[in-house]
Amino acid sequence: MFAAGLVVALATMQAAPAGAAPYAAMVMDARTGEVLHARNADTRLHPASLTKMMTLYIAFEAVRNGEITLDTMVTVSRNAEAEPPSELGLRYGQKIALRYLIRAAAVKSANDAATAIGEAISGSEEAFARRMNRTAKALGMTRTTFKNANGLTREGHLSTAHDMTILGRHILYDYPEYYNLFSRRSTDAGMKVVYNTNRRFLAAYKGADGIKTGYTRAAGFNLVSSAKRGDERIIATVFGGKSTAARNAKVAELLDLGFRRAPSYAKLQKPALPPYLGNGGIQVAGGGSPGVAGKTIRLSGVVEKTPRPKARPVTATVLVAEVETPEEDAEEVVQVASLDSDALQSGINSAILEVTEVSALTPVARPDEPEVTSVGNETLQAEIQTAVVKAVSAPVQRHYTGPRPQMRPASFNTKLASAEEEPVVVTRLSPSGGRYWGINVGRYTTRFQAEKVLLRTALAEMETLDGSLRKVVQSPRGFDANFLGMTKESAELACRRLTSRNVSCETLGPAS
């Protein structure tokens, strides 16, 4: 009896692992941010690989703001190489494009790829963790503290179901161009094809398109998931699942609850994008790497040197007098008045040089005379204008030598007066010029069919149908497709040509 009881006790201990992670959940209407369900949502727990959501969020931010590009070749450090699975298999000194690291972190949840991303952006994983924490505060994640870029268990590396739901919503709306990463069942990560850790749930739940799984022994099975049905989108988060299957079933249950409680129609209220600070104010190089000095970037708005403003250049204004010009000379005068810019500039330069030379020859004032320090602005302006006018006036002086207009003869005025006295009757002439004929190319059940045939026929027989009028005539028997306004010869020619191509055609005479 005792032995049997001991066996049962041992079996029970194996079925229920010691120190199982606490359970927490959150359901949110993604459109409005309204919380639809919460349980232990503000309890600080181990996020595990949900951490990579923040790593990727900062990577998207860095690319958008030009800190780094998707094609930047990242050199793998010893620290990144040493990260335990799940991993991409990076090796120390290897160079790999940032886009492949992002894919591996988002789809496979690769720890080495996440660490390499953080080091590439902020110089060290420690500096990147400080940027993660600053970004978390800006997003409103008030109970989250990050220690690394991948989510491996470390003391103080904690978050909540509420905070991770907020982060998932920001990824969805702040960087929609990257959101498709989280729904890929597999992707090319440069070194190899990797498969999504969430592919079972994506395949099983209708409308599911992300976001991120997470698992460590301390955390249990975590998942932030989003699903869209029609205009409704729900985000559900679970911490502390007992297994992948149990976690997925619980998330499906929570998403169903969300779709039941969310209104069918709700105005989209996107979360506010946090201010962009980049690496400002954090250590961006060295960090924990031995032998590399740290570097701190500090932003300062103090102006150290103020350049003096340059003097405004004196410009000369050329005044062109308005004159009465014969009509024949108008174009020539416009061309002369509109001087080439180089010629005008040359004249101005000559004028300024002339004034400068004159000013340089001004005798020095005697002790008993008032001191002259500079030429007055008005005097200088007047001298420049005078010199410029002299410089450019010579080529403008042109005299018209062509024939002068003759006066209209008096006899013309007499004829005009007599013409006005005699009334003129104008009759409306037919523009057709004998174009009373036409052709019919068929009768159809709808107007649309008839118009379609007319257009197709006109394009095929442009030579003979040019100038004719396409007209659909409705009758009790259907819609006739006609070409009108043709001569007899052109109508007969058009019919012969159309008939040779097996197109039914019949000429229509004036009496038709």
Catalytic residues: 49, 52, 109
Query: How many Å apart are CA 195 and CA 186, to the nearest integer?
Result: 4
Residues 220, 20 contacting (CB under 8 angstroms): yes
DSSP collapsed to 3 states, 486-505? ECHHHHHHHHHHHHHCCCCC
Q: Between vectors from CA 154 to CA 189 and to CA 160, what angle results, nearest 5°?
A: 85
Query: How many Å apart are CA 117 and CA 54, to the nearest integer?
Result: 11
Query: How many Å apart are CA 181 and CA 204, to the nearest integer?
Result: 18
Residues 161, 25 contacting (CB under 8 angstroms): yes
User: On the CB side of 213, how many CA atoms lie within 13 Å of its CA?
Assistant: 24
Residue among 201, 205, 212, 261 nearest 232 (CA): 261
User: On the CB side of 50, how many CA atoms lie within 13 Å of its CA?
Assistant: 31
Residue among 19, 22, 20 nearest 158 (CA): 22
Query: How many Å apart are CA 78 and CA 101, to the nearest integer?
Result: 16
Q: Which helix (H) or strand (E) holds 462?
A: helix 462-465
Provide the H-helix boundaries in 154-266. 161-174, 199-204, 244-261
Query: How many Å apart are CA 254 and CA 243, to the nearest integer?
Result: 16
| Strand 232-241 with 295-296, pairing | unpaired
DSSP collapsed to 3 states, 96-133? EEHHHHHHHHHHHCCHHHHHHHHHHHHCCHHHHHHHHH
Name the amino acid, one letter, at 260: R
Task: Count the residues in the chain.
Answer: 512
Query: How many Å apart are CA 15 and CA 129, to the nearest integer?
Result: 37
From residue 277, give the alpha-carbon distance in Å to each of 127, 133, 134, 149, 170: 14, 13, 9, 18, 17
- DSSP-derived letter for residue 159 is B
Residue 440: CB partners within 8 Å, gap ≥ 6?
480, 481, 482, 505, 506, 507, 508
Tokens 């268990």 correspond to 153
